[in-house]
Amino acid sequence: MKKRLLFLLCAASVILTGCWDSIELNDIAIVTGMAIDPGKEKKYRLTVGYVNPAQYSKQNPAHGAPVSIMTLEGNSLPEISAKMNVGVSRRLIFSHTRALYINEKVAKEDGVSHFLDSLERSPQFRNDFNILITKNNSASDFAMINDPVERVPSLKVQKSIKSLLKSWGGDPRVRLTDFIDAIIAEGRSPVASTVVIDGDPEKGQNAESNMEVKAPARIMLDGLAVFKKDKLIGYLSLDDTRNYLWTQKLESTMISIPCEEDGDKNNPLYFDIVITNNKSEMKTYYKGNQPQLELNIFSEASINSMQCQKDLSSKEIYTELEKRSDKQIKNMITETIKKVQNDFGVDIFGFGEALNRQHYKKAKKVLGHWNEEFSRADVDVNVKIALRRSGTRNKSFISELPKKDVED
């Protein structure tokens, strides 16, 4: 009896299960980018860009296009992608999608939630692709622009975003689940990156454009798209994006700060600091009936360039530069928060979430209309920069020049 049962169990584990969905590498097309535009006859127009593997062959690389695209119209994403084989020979696999381009018109008018559901539901999609709102051009153009270095456009975009995030900051680091969480959350509104095409998209599609030193068209990051629920309501610039990141988690950035508050307007002098370590703490509370947004930032930094004649071997100068940096950064961030408060009236920073964590009882009352509360709140940003090092040099050689020469 026991043996028979064991045999049944073993047989079941082999017969009833297993993945019979095997498919050879030669029969798949790896989709790296998807672009969603408003359809002319139906709801959406979906463009997929899939890699042409012969381009990656080391032995005899064909001089063809690195990616190929296919466009279809339809009412839902799953339906269109299932139908793609009307023109594509291989089965599309979406697990390596690197970028999802959404035309700003779709995001503005229809909202994004309708197709985000199908992406989240599908087991094929990973949670590691970038959601990008395309400005000016149609989203399908973005899936086609060649890049001479990375070849596959969507890989290029993702890599470029990753590198930018490490060196300067400028991407909100939003993935599919973050975006969906922010849509349903009461204390936070979603954001996404925006991209634009610099140059002529027609020329950029041509594989021969890879031969040119100056790419005729280039996909560039352009800042933030601000959403209210799932609808796009406006944009923020790249600088504002960095300030936004400063309130979230900034890995590292480089920032130039004027030496004097009211120095020579015609020939302003700057010093650069590189932020290496950053901690930000958000506090939301009520003073009487007035919501207060408090942001405390502590960053470690080092000096990276010096245009002004300061003696970096003295401690006082360091303190002075630290104070200049504190003030500058505080103004920048405050400005961005105020801009969001006045122009959009949605809490993209997550102050509402902070309130929910810190003052749960109060939050329950106000989170239902949190965006109004956010707009009228007082903002208080405290920045403390600690300058730790000054590169491989103390005094700049500029400070050793006779004063006259510098002025000349």
Rounded to the nearest whole angstrom, what is the least distance from the CB of residue 205 to another protein in the complex?
Answer: 20
CB of 5 to another protein, least distance (A): 16
Nearer Cβ to another protein (2/287): 2
Binding flag, residue 98, another protein (CB under 8 A): yes
Segment interacting with another protein, rule: CB under 8 A, options 52-60, 186-194, 240-248, 332-340: 52-60
User: Taking a C-beta distance cutoff of 8 angstroms, is the pair 198, 218 a contact?
Assistant: yes
Binding status of residue 71 toward another protein by CB under 8 A? no
Three-state secondary structure readout of 82-138: HHHHHCCCCEEECCCCCEEEEEHHHHHHCCCHHHHHHHHHCCCCCCCCEEEEECCCC
Which residues, including other chains, have CB under 8 Å from residue 161's CB and lie 6 or more apart?
Answer: 130, 171, 193, 221
Per the CB < 8 A criterion, the answer to whether 64 and 54 are in contact is: yes
- Span interacting with another protein, options 92-100, 107-115, 341-349, 363-371, rule CB under 8 A: 92-100
- Confirm if 116 and 22 have CB atoms less than 8 A apart: no
Residue 254: name the closest of 325, 338, 336 by CA. 325
Piece of the chain touching another protein by CB under 8 A; list 56-64, 227-235, 245-253, 348-356: 56-64
- Between the two ends of the chain, the Cα-to-Cα distance in Å is 101
- Beta-bridge partners for 384: 298
CB of 191 to another protein, least distance (A): 25
Closer by beta carbon to another protein, 11 or else 406? 11
As beta bridge partners, residue 92 has 29
Pairing mode, strands 191-199 and 28-38: unpaired
Q: How many residues bind another protein (CB under 8 A)?
A: 30
Which positions from 5 through 44 interact with another protein, judged by CB under 8 A?
Answer: 13-14, 17-19, 21-26, 28, 30, 32
CB of 72 to another protein, least distance (A): 23
Q: Which two tokens stand for residue 88?
A: 């594509």
Q: Do residues 135 and 196 lie in contact, with contact meaning Cβ atoms separated by under 8 Å?
A: yes
Least distance (Å) between residue 130 CB and another protein: 13
Instruction: Measure the CA–CA gap between 353 and 224, rounded to whole angstroms.
Output: 20
57: contact with another protein by CB under 8 A: yes
* Identity at 99, one-letter amino acid code: A
Near another protein by CB under 8 A: residue from 93, 317, 379, 398:
93
Between 120 and 159, how does the x/- string for binding to another protein read (CB under 8 A)?
----x-x-------------------------x--x----
Supply the minimum distance, in Å, between the C-beta of residue 165 and another protein.
18
Taking CB under 8 A as the criterion, the residue among 38, 43, 55, 327 binding another protein is 55
Residue with smaller CB distance to another protein, 66 or 350: 66
65 or 185: whose CB is closer to another protein? 65
Beta 67-74 vs 91-93: how paired, if at all?
unpaired
Smallest distance, Å, CB 51 to another protein? 6
Residue 151 or 324: the one with the smaller Cβ distance to another protein is 151
- Asked if 95 interacts with another protein (CB under 8 A), we say yes
CA distance 255 to 329: 9
Site for another protein in 160-189 (CB under 8 A): none
Hey, which residues does 193 pair with through a beta bridge?
Answer: 132, 224
Is 304 a binder of another protein (CB under 8 A)? no
- The type of residue at 348 is I
Which of 38, 39, 42, 53 is the binder for another protein (CB under 8 A)? Answer: 53
Write the DSSP symbol of residue 401: S
Report the alpha-carbon distance of residue 173 to residue 171 in Å, rounded.
5
| Chain contacts with another protein (rule: CB under 8 A) | 13-14, 17-19, 21-26, 28, 30, 32, 51, 53-59, 93, 95-96, 98, 124, 126, 152, 155
